[in-house]
Structure 1
Amino acid sequence: MTSDSPSPVAAKAWRPETVAVAAGRPAAEADAPLNTPVTFASTYVGSLDTTDGSLGYGRYGNPTWQALEEGIGALEGGQAITFSSGMAAAHAVLELVEPGSTVVLPDTCYLGVAAAVDQRAARYGWTVHRVDVADTDAVLAAAEGADLVWVESPTNPMIEVADLPAIGAALAGRVRLVVDNTFATPLLQQPLSVGADIVLHAVTKFIAGHSDALLGALVLRESDTATFAALQAVRRSHGATPGTMEAYLALRGLRTLPLRLNQAQANAGVLAERLAAHPAVQRVRYPGLPGDPGHERAARTMSGFGSVMSVELADAASADAFVAATGLWVFATSLGGVESMLERRRRWAGELTSVPEGLVRLSVGVEHVEDLWSDLEQALDPLS
């Protein structure tokens, strides 16, 4: 199966939990491997038949990538193309934006994407409009005459929720809409189904899920063959190809995504309530809390609230002390793994100034919730 072939799983009426386990497997034949093997190959034997779909060269395709692409595509309801990282996938999309274009970007989003847009804007004369993605009217107003609208939902690290159905319906056929679905995963929302043109995943995070594989992916509708071919061309020419072993690990991680996300999300709900009641915490940003500004919207448009949240403490010093005092929680700049992680985001010089100095992002893992809470509580109590 080539990477631009439709997934046979996508046509079946299976629920996402089943698709995560079944998609991207070899044909069920006697003595065939149950899982797609790792194919370590930079070079393939050539063919004089140019119509046989041969891979040609290691930068053009690999059976292990293609199995992962089938799995991700089936979950999102489209066709997927994988990259060496989430940022490589983001740059591939930006490579399609012409000089002089207008781009709409969240005013709080992943700092790597914000920097990439700013760099290209300076080089190519783009006009960039930054908006609050939770303000649907503002997004649609900024999108008038735009060439690309980029949305994260929930956003990183402010955990704001966009009304994707309303935005997608309004922009369909008018403006290319890209949605970073890393935090929600395909299990909680499928942006293509509500009007998005391209869905981005930092596969490194929830899909791979074990903090051991660096990958990214883009997913498009099966009918958008022209854009898909353009992104494939970017991947080939820029060499932003995924590692074969990384693709294998990510596909193995995909199999347990429903189980991991269910446990982590359940833990997050408990911890968010307890953190909101702690005197050292000024604010908890988590749409699962009834008082959160994104609660109604997330409840209406998503099938769960996810397992990433942010808390705001009094200042940077308090946040740093909190992070340093934890023991079970891992101080790390990532998320979506089985282990619980946290960090103060403004410790990064490139972080957007709209992010409060005392904000700590927490990625809740699958450990026992009481152990996670005990560790947070002992770190917070001295700050009260």
Structure 2
Amino acid sequence: MSATPDRHPDLHLDTFLVSAGRPLPEPGAPVNPPVVLSSTYVADGSVNYARAGNPTWDAFEEALGGLEGGRALVHASGMGAISAALSLVPAGGTVVAPDTTYNGTVQLLEALEQAGGTVRRRHATDTDGLVADLDGADLVWIESPTNPLMDVMDVRTVLDAARARGVVSVVDNTLPTPLGCRPLTLGADVVVHSATKYIAGHSDVLLGVTVVTDDAAGAEIGERLRRHRTLHGAIAGPLEVYLGLRGLRTLALRYERASANAAELATRLQGHPAAERVRYPGSGAMLSVDIAGDVHAAERVCAATRVWVHSTSLGGVESQLERRRRQPSEPETVPPNLIRLSVGIEHVDDLWTDLDQALRAAL
């Protein structure tokens, strides 16, 4: 697990994105870190087997750790990172979580309950209820905005309350990215990313990341996360990690453009006859729309787009949309007519023209 780098002090984050994780600038050195394709290493070095480490991982972890202000660990996927974070809950332990989160997290929390644990669920905006539920809990799961309802939590208040009670706090920072929020600076213990999404940004790799604080408490949690990754084998391939770092270089540009597009689309959607409700958290590149009519109307919208890609992921350069309840595991708290929009970097007028004609086709 790489520590926060000290080669780039006092840089703006968008500059750090370009600079971090590169080899030392020695004469003849490559500008980019190499892809190390080896499962085995000569004895008595820092790594002896690729399930425990890889030099290509180090560069990526250095960059993500610096972005979040902590120490990073790369995982095979977002679910690998989420699984590792939830492994911090002791057997029979208690988790506090919003009643609607990413459906992979929902399924893992349900599995935790089936194994004898307890999950206390509250609406994401019920701050007083979430704080009250922290008494006697082992871990609190924070997601803001929530996926796909786009509800915004009072993250700082919940984190302050968790720290006061000795409850481990985990923040899924996939949607805001470190450019929108840096939870460790607010008091979080662990940050989780599906780096498949905005971090890598091109819909071509599966990656996850956990980040912990750069202190003794963080080192202890980080070692538990590392052990879970090594023993459970949810490790990332070096080529995927290399592509993730390459994608990270343009995060600031991609996120700025996609966020501006999302804000404009949210404004244009207000009052549209096919938009029953627009769910926009006020920043970032994600929003959701409840379609006027039934499930079939929402499906007609998804089927009628030409620029927007009908797909189940988010955070790529291409704009994507999906009726989330078509996924069997999606919580019933998600309206069946809700469409989640992941806004990309295309020209906003093309996105609007395509979306508007699809919405009107559903009326």
Secondary structure of the 1:177 match is strand
- Equivalent residue for 1:299? none
- Equivalent residue for 2:5? 7
Give CA-to-partner distance per residue, 1:120-150, whole Å, 9 cap, x none: 2211x11111111222111101111110100
* CA distance, structure 2, for counterparts of residue 95 and residue 144 of structure 1: 20
- Equivalent residue for 2:341? 362
- Equivalent residue for 2:220? 226
Report the CA distance between 1:6 and its aligned residue: 3.6
Task: Give the aligned length.
Answer: 359
Secondary structure of the 2:73 match is strand
* CA distance, structure 1, for counterparts of residue 160 and residue 96 of structure 2: 17
The correspondence for 1:100, drawn from 72, 92, 103, is 92
Q: What are the within-5 Å matches in structure 2 for residues 36-51 of structure 1?
A: 36-47=33-44
Q: TM-score, normalised to structure 2's length? A: 0.97
Secondary structure of the 1:120 match is helix
The correspondence for 1:110, drawn from 102, 114, 123, is 102
- For structure 1, the residue ranges without an aligned partner over 5 or more in a row are 48-52, 289-304
Given that residues 9 and 19 in structure 1 are in contact (C-alpha distance below 8 angstroms), is that contact kept between their aligned partners in structure 2? no
* CA distance, structure 2, for counterparts of residue 95 and residue 152 of structure 1: 18
Q: What are the within-5 Å matches in structure 2 for residues 40-79 of structure 1?
A: 40-47=37-44, 54-79=46-71
Given that residues 82 and 218 in structure 1 are in contact (C-alpha distance below 8 angstroms), is that contact kept between their aligned partners in structure 2? yes
Report the CA distance between 1:91 and its aligned residue: 0.8
Q: TM-score, normalised to structure 1's length? A: 0.92
* CA distance, structure 1, for counterparts of residue 7 and residue 119 of structure 2: 39
- Equivalent residue for 1:294? none
- Equivalent residue for 2:289? 311
The alignment status of 1:375 with 2:354, answered yes or no, reads yes
* CA distance, structure 1, for counterparts of residue 224 and residue 146 of structure 2: 27
Given that residues 9 and 74 in structure 1 are in contact (C-alpha distance below 8 angstroms), is that contact kept between their aligned partners in structure 2? no
- C-alpha distance 273-54 of structure 1, shift in aligned 2 (>3 A): same
Q: What are the within-5 Å matches in structure 2 for residues 141-290 of structure 1?
A: 141-173=132-164, 174-223=166-215, 224-288=218-282
* CA distance, structure 2, for counterparts of residue 349 and residue 168 of structure 1: 32
Give CA-to-partner distance per residue, 1:322-345, whole Å, 9 cap, x none: 000001100110000000000000
Amino acid at match of 1:111: N
Report the CA distance between 1:9 and its aligned residue: 4.4
* CA distance, structure 2, for counterparts of residue 367 and residue 382 of structure 1: 22
Amino acid at match of 2:76: S
Amino acid at match of 1:309: L
- Equivalent residue for 1:24? 21
Given that residues 304 and 361 in structure 2 are in contact (C-alpha distance below 8 angstroms), is that contact kept between their aligned partners in structure 1? no
Given that residues 9 and 22 in structure 1 are in contact (C-alpha distance below 8 angstroms), is that contact kept between their aligned partners in structure 2? no
Secondary structure of the 1:129 match is strand
